[in-house]
Each structure stands twice: as C-alpha cells, then as structure tokens.
C-alpha cells in the first residue's frame, strides 16, 4: 500500500486529486496540506511514501518545502505551469504533471513511484465515473452517465447535462481520452455524444448520419465516422 500526502493550497485541486486517486485501490491518502508549514508537520508525523506537491503556494513554494525537510518522500509535482519542469527534475522528482491532470498520466506516475519504492505495480484505473467541472464561480461534479454531449468551442468544451451547459477549459481530445469509447462516440471534430441519449438515427444527404438527442438537438456524424454506428439500433 502506497501512502500519499497531497500538498496544494487550492481546496478544489486537492478534491480533484482525491477523485483521481480513488480509482487506485493500492494507495492510501494519509493527509492533506494547504501550505509548506502544514506539509512539513505532516511529513514528520505521517511519514508518507509519496507527495503530490504543488509548486506555487502562498508563502513557501514546493521547492522551499523540499529544502526544509530532513527526510523527503518521493515527489510528483502537480502544477498549472510548465516553466518549473527542469527545476523539478533537478530535485529528482518522479514526475511533473500539469493541471488539469489526466487520469492516465497520473496512473503512469504512480506506477513509477511504486517501482522506485519497491511496491507492487498498481493497475491502471477504471474509467472515471464523474467529471469535475468549474465555470467561473460555479462548480459541478456530474456523473458521466448524465452527460449527454460534449461540444468543442475553440480551446473550451461545452458540457451538456441536466439543464446546464457550462464551459470547461479542456479540449475535446483531452476529454475523449478519459471516456469509455463503448459509451461515448466521437461523432465529429466538434462533438462527443453519449450513446445512451441517442433517441433516433437517420441518414443525411452527405452520406453520414444525424443523431437525435433529447430536446430536439441534432448532431451530425461525419461520413467517415458513420460506419462506427451503423449497427446501433435507433
């Protein structure tokens, strides 16, 4: 069992890490810290095997924290910035994960940590069952089963569920990597559709398909991708 300490000044970031780590039965989250001072105390008291460590925090940075420790656990940096990557590896960090953190990247980093610690290799996580969404000051945590459509809008993706359609700063390709292809179809460059919400399919004049979703919404499937769904019942 790998014992992990999460160090990040943002509560929502810590919650997202907890959600991602929940897919790994071979780890135990032994504590959380919101700053370097708390982390120093928890490392001494809890003796974690691994820290998931943010770089920029109020007061002392993640690098300042490492310098202050007498005994340092293995470290995976988690940050929104890419400019600290070289410095991270200079302190022998296991990995450097840039937010928003992908489940598969975290899984590989945990496997590397297990190998260095001489622990059994954790398996790859199951597909996530929920998605954390933040749009401005509002946050949601919908089940993937309740999301009917992802729609690309430049560097953002609009997520359709219940009666809301928030925007998230994640590309459609990034989201596609986290979704079960048996349930979600990449219908076009702009859309990913939850097949459970498809009420009817019909051919269009371009040789592709039109998927009819609740509320009268229609999503076109390109001719090339239409072959993937020809066998699905309407």
pLDDT digits (tens, 9 = 90+) for 146-164: 999 999 998 899 999 999 9
Q: Could you tell me the CA-to-CA distances from 58 to 9, 10, 55 in Å, in that order?
A: 7, 10, 10
Task: Provide the 3-class DSSP secondary structure of residue 61.
Answer: coil
Looking at residue 91, its pLDDT comes to: 67
Residue-wise pLDDT tens digits, 5-39? 999 999 999 999 999 999 998 899 999 999 999 99
What is the block-wise mean pLDDT of the chain (234 residues), using blocks of 10 residues?
96 95 93 96 95 93 89 89 69 83 90 84 56 84 90 93 92 83 84 90 78 89 66 43
How big is the CA angle at 69 (ends 14 and 59), to the nearest 5 degrees? 55
CATH of 2-117, one of 3.40.50.2300, 3.40.190.10, 3.40.50.300, 1.20.140.10: 3.40.50.2300
Residue from 117, 121, 99 nearest 108 by CA:
121
Fold of the 138-226 domain: OB fold (Dihydrolipoamide Acetyltransferase, E2P) (2.40.50)
Residue-wise pLDDT tens digits, 119-129? 865 554 445 57
**In this structure, how many other beta carbons lie within 10 angstroms of the beta carbon of residue 223?**
12
Domain boundaries, given as residue ranges, for the chain: 2-117, 138-226
Q: Could you tell me the CA-to-CA distances from 154 to 132, 151, 157, 167, 169 in Å, in that order?
A: 20, 10, 8, 11, 9
Looking at residue 5, its pLDDT comes to: 97
Looking at residue 20, its pLDDT comes to: 94
CA 14 from centre of chain = 12
Q: Could you tell me the CA-to-CA distances from 99 to 23, 126, 139, 169, 187 in Å, in that order?
A: 18, 20, 17, 11, 27
Under 8 Å between Cβ of 210 and 220:
yes
Let me know if the fold of 2-117 is the same as that of 138-226. Answer: no
Looking at residue 44, its pLDDT comes to: 93
């Amino acid at each position: 069992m790998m014992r992990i300490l999460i160090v990040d000044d943002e509560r929502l970031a810590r919650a997202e890490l907890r959600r991602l780590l929940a897919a790994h039965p071979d780890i135990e989250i032994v504590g959380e810290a919101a700053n370097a001072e708390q982390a120093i105390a928890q490392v001494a008291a809890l003796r974690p095997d691994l820290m998931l460590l943010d770089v920029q925090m109020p007061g002392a940075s993640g690098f300042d924290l490492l310098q202050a420790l007498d005994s340092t656990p293995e470290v995976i940096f988690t940050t929104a910035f890419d400019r600290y990557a070289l410095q991270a590896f200079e302190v022998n960090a296991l990995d450097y994960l840039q937010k928003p953190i992908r489940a598969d990247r975290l899984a590989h980093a945990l496997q590397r940590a297990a190998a260095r610690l001489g622990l059994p290799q954790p398996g790859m996580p199951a597909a996530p069952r929920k998605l954390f969404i933040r749009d401005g000051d509002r946050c949601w945590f919908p089940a993937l089963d309740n999301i009917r459509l992802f729609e690309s809008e430049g560097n953002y993706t609009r997520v359709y569920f219940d009666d809301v359609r928030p925007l998230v700063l994640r590309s459609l390709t990034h989201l596609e990597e986290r979704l079960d292809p048996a349930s979600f179809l990449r219908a076009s460059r702009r859309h990913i559709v939850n097949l459970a919400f498809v009420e009817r399919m019909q051919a269009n004049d371009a040789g592709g398909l039109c998927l009819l979703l609740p509320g009268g919404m229609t999503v076109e499937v390109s001719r090339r991708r239409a072959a993937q769904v020809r066998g699905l019942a309407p």
